Amino acid sequence: MKTVSISELRANLLKYLGEAQRGERIDVTSKGVVLATLVAPVGEREAARMRLEELAAGATIGDVVSPVDERWEATR
């Protein structure tokens, strides 16, 4: 992660935007306080895949095929 001041960002905006596009995370500061972070946008597909992977990590798969002892009203 890189940290740059607002004045440095203004002077070299295209350079820092290019770095962010290539995956670099850049914190923008003013008087040592982080005001913003430049990061490359995450595409919808990648964001959806990441969310599915998070859900899959905590998912529990049970037996959904074996018959149960109860008769369902829909089968009567």
CATH of the domain at 42: 3.40.1620.10
**pTM of the full structure:** 0.56
> Cα–Cα distance between 30 and 9 in angstroms, integer?
11
> Cα–Cα distance between 4 and 26 in angstroms, integer?
7
Q: What pLDDT, on the 0 to 100 scale, is given for residue 16? A: 96
Q: Is residue 43 part of a domain?
A: yes
Over the chain (76 residues), the average pLDDT of each successive run of 10 is 95 95 94 94 84 87 70 64
Q: Is residue 20 part of a domain?
A: yes
Q: What pLDDT, on the 0 to 100 scale, is given for residue 3? A: 96
> Cα–Cα distance between 38 and 65 in angstroms, integer?
48
Range of the domain at 48: 2-57
Q: Is residue 17 part of a domain?
A: yes
**How many domains, in total, are found in the chain?**
1
Q: What pLDDT, on the 0 to 100 scale, is given for residue 37? A: 96
Q: Is residue 62 part of a domain?
A: no
Q: Is residue 25 part of a domain?
A: yes
Q: What pLDDT, on the 0 to 100 scale, is given for residue 46? A: 84
Q: Is residue 27 part of a domain?
A: yes
